[in-house]
Amino acid sequence: MTRLQGRRARARFRRWGQRNEIYPRLEIAAAIATIVISWTSYALLAGGAAPANGVSPPLVTLLVVANLLPLMLLMVLIARRVAILLSNRRKGLAGSKLHVRMVALFAGIAAVPTILVVVFASLLFQFGVQFWFSDRVKTVLDSSNEVAQVYVEENRQRITEDIVPMAGDMENYVTDFGLGSVSFGEGLLLQVARRSLTEAAVVGRAADGKLTPIASYGIKPAAVLARLKTIDLDKARVGAATVVAQGTDRVEAVVATSPSAQRYLYVSRKVDPVVLARADAAAGALGEYRALIER
């Protein structure tokens, strides 16, 4: 097609558009399409038609583009109408028609990259969000938390398995050597070394609840009394070993060596504080992740 033929085709299109009033009709159609598509999108996302597992990224992108297209077309048509109004006010001045064409051209050019940016941004955002809420991420968090908790639980289990037979041995020392004797203290030291413990203590409990240190190793008597809580001693009196809320660098347990005499054995073992901190962090991260998913 030659340049002259192109000009004639554009002139015929303009005359046809003027006769049929195509631009006013396009403005009305764009406005109606904007309202209808916006209402349909809202009904789809907020109503019962939305999928239970969320809207897929391609559908979100389609909805965004479907809402943007008529809106951008309406903005271009409004810009054209404003340019025509300004041109009519300046009628007779040179370049008034060229001004209208340039406004329409640049409005159309500006709309295209806007739509492309929105499409790619929507896809990137949706796929990113979908990744973080995918089963793979959940599996990684669950596995990390399980590994950390297995370490903590293993140390709790080990100290529980050590303290029960140790309590029996300490009661035998009471019978053989006497409570609080030098040999009794040496027996406590032997038990700590044999079972790779860090601290150990034997305490008595009076009828009024007052605790009295009998023997200890690796820990001061005052520190033992500060760590032992009444609720833990009440649980231990039943006969089962009670794992005390561990500190930042140790796992602790207490058991009644003689429930009738209210004598208790306290032991602790050092563990890696970094691992305990990571275990707490893993549990906290998993809890926050689950709370976020449930919202």
Give the CATH number for residue 232: 3.30.450.20
* Together in a domain, 152 and 215: yes
Q: Which of 132, 148, 182 is the last residue of a domain?
A: 132
Residue 292 lies in a domain: no
Residue 222 sits in the same domain as residue 185:
yes
Domain boundary among 114, 132, 150: 132
Residues 160 and 52 in one domain: no
Asked if 187 and 75 sit in the same domain, the reply is no
Q: Are residues 239 and 116 in the same domain?
A: no
Domains contained in the chain, number: 2
Residue 217 neighbours by CB distance under 10 Å = 19
Instruction: Summarize pLDDT for 113-141 with one digit per residue, the tens.
Output: 666 776 666 666 666 666 566 566 666 66
**HSE of 77, CA atoms in CB hemisphere, 13 A:** 16
Residues 105 and 153 in one domain: no
CA distances for 150 relative to 161, 200, 276, angstroms: 16, 24, 11
pLDDT digits (tens, 9 = 90+) for 8-24: 665 565 655 555 567 77
Amino acid at site 270: K
Phi-psi region of 56 (alpha: psi -120 to 50; beta: other; left: phi over 0): beta
156 part of a folded domain: yes
Q: Based on the domain organization, do 14 and 60 belong to the same domain?
A: yes
Domain extent at residue 158: 138-278
Residues 98 and 173 in one domain: no
Look up the pTM and report it. Answer: 0.52
pLDDT tens readout for residues 204-235: 998 888 899 999 999 998 888 888 888 888 88
Asked whether residue 127 is domain-assigned, the answer is yes
Per-residue pLDDT of the chain (295 residues; tens, 9 = 90+): 565 555 566 556 565 555 556 777 777 888 888 888 888 877 877 765 555 556 666 777 777 778 878 877 777 777 777 767 766 666 655 455 555 566 666 666 666 666 677 666 666 666 666 656 656 666 666 666 676 677 777 888 888 889 989 999 999 999 999 988 999 999 999 999 999 899 999 999 988 888 999 999 999 988 888 888 888 888 888 767 777 765 667 888 899 888 788 899 999 988 777 766 777 777 777 677 666 666 6
Last residue in a domain, options 109, 132, 155:
132
126 and 8 together in one domain? yes
d(CA 82, CA 88): 10
- Together in a domain, 40 and 150: no
Please tell me whether residue 260 adopts helix, strand or coil conformation.
Answer: coil
Q: Tell whether 247 and 269 lie within a shared domain.
A: yes
User: 21 with 86, same domain?
Assistant: yes
pLDDT at 106: 64
User: Looking at the DSSP assignment, which residues form a beta bridge with residue 253?
Assistant: 243, 267
In a domain, 294, yes or no: no
Residue 286 included in any domain? no
Percent of the chain with pLDDT over 90: 15
Structure tokens at 191: 């038990």
Q: Is residue 283 part of a domain?
A: no
